[in-house]
Structure 1
């Protein structure tokens, strides 16, 4: 196999480092181990990432991009068979919860929480992607689908995520509920999360929304 260089090597290092960080945690992860697992030299590793903090920041950015890409926007959940905007919102919130309950996501969140005091800018960036960006997408969708003001839509998004995501996520973070072991597939959404409970919350928050 030809040697990786440039951007391909950087991406390979990030994927490798993600696994090492999740396995060992930040403190126990060493640049030596990352270089060894990535099958590259320490010199090449430091050329791309001058410190472990820089490497960790790169991994968080990678995870953030993957997460948002997999989640998409509420409009992505509107289909010919499911044209109801309330149903699309239910499935979007369900997918958000499903992705967060994945064992890999929970480990990443725990690591971000553990490092929040030391590297707050990294943790705050992860929070923006995991919570703020989805709430912004929910708010924008609610504005269009229910003709709400931006302020009303923001309040709806905050309440909806608070009721449908936070309780289960907290249980997952504390080990009270079993995580989703395999990478979550949208096809198993109904089996992984309680869509009926989410639908009930949507109807309470948006009382004029048709039942899903």
Structure 2
């Protein structure tokens, strides 16, 4: 019994150390940049030994990849939550798709994961393996593609290629909002709403079931 308790406590402690190291690395990579951030600085900020950082992540590039993957997974979780909330029981497809996009934008703005992900991928891209970009391109779209395919099977859309449909939908709606962020704050909400509504309607014109 005693050994079982000790093992459980150690495992929980290890998970916390991993989270502390990731948080420290993310902060330093964003503030100081990858090249100027040392493993010693990450260890000091995380309050662990340098050896512990290497034991958990191997090297600094692997640590950067882990930070990017963590932020990417958080974005994927936000998208799936929006799918569950808005696209599970659909009565009016246009309203449901608009609500879905608005929730993604809201969840993204409320957390720093998307901006951190974008910044790290843009600025530190040379230090990331090519496979990272393949995953970042495909993972967020997978849940959307699956749901659009299901809506197609229900007769609400005509979706011959669900992955391409997901790419079109994202590009017309919330990705366009993200690209336009940073404009005048007092006009941002109005512009966001219009961008989403216009994008959803353009998507529906392209993917609405064909009538005979």
In 2, distance between residues paired with 1:149 and 1:124? Answer: 23
Q: What is aligned with 2:203?
A: 205
Task: Give distance in 2, aligned partners of 1:192 and 1:67.
Answer: 24
Give the 3 Å change call, closer, same or farther, for CA 107–64 of structure 1 in structure 2. closer
- Aligned partners of 1:121 and 1:200: how far apart in 2? 33
- Are residues 89 and 137 of structure 1, via their aligned partners in 2, closer, same or farther at CA, if it must alter by over 3 Å? farther
Offset at residue 202 of structure 1 (A): 1.9
What is residue 133 of structure 1 aligned with on the other side?
142
Partner residue of 2:167 out of 122, 145, 158: 158
Aligned positions of 1:60-75 closer than 5 A: 60-72=68-80, 73-75=82-84
Checking the alignment, whether the CA contact within 8 Å between 1:164 and 1:201 is kept in structure 2 is: yes
Of 89, 102, 125, the residue aligned with 1:116 is 125
* Match in the other structure for 1:55: 63
Map of 1:21 onto structure 2: 29
Report the TM-score when normalising by structure 1: 0.71
- Counterparts of 1:181-192 in structure 2, within 5 Å, are 191=189
Aligned residues of 2:173 and 2:196 also touching (Cα < 8 A): yes
Q: Aligned Cα RMSD in Å?
A: 3.4
TM-score by length of 2: 0.71
| Structure 1 runs of 4+ with >6 Å offset | none
SS of 1:29's equivalent in the other structure is coil
In structure 2, C-alpha distance between the alignment counterparts of 1:129 and 1:192, rounded to whole Å? 29
**Contact map agreement 1:78 1:84 (CA 8 A) in 2:** no
1:167 equivalent in alignment to 2:176:
yes
Name whichever structure is richer in helix by fraction.
2
1:195 alignment partner in structure 2: 193
Structure 1 unpaired stretches of 5+ = 180-189
What number of residue pairs does the alignment pair up? 192
Per-residue deviation, 1:178: 6.6
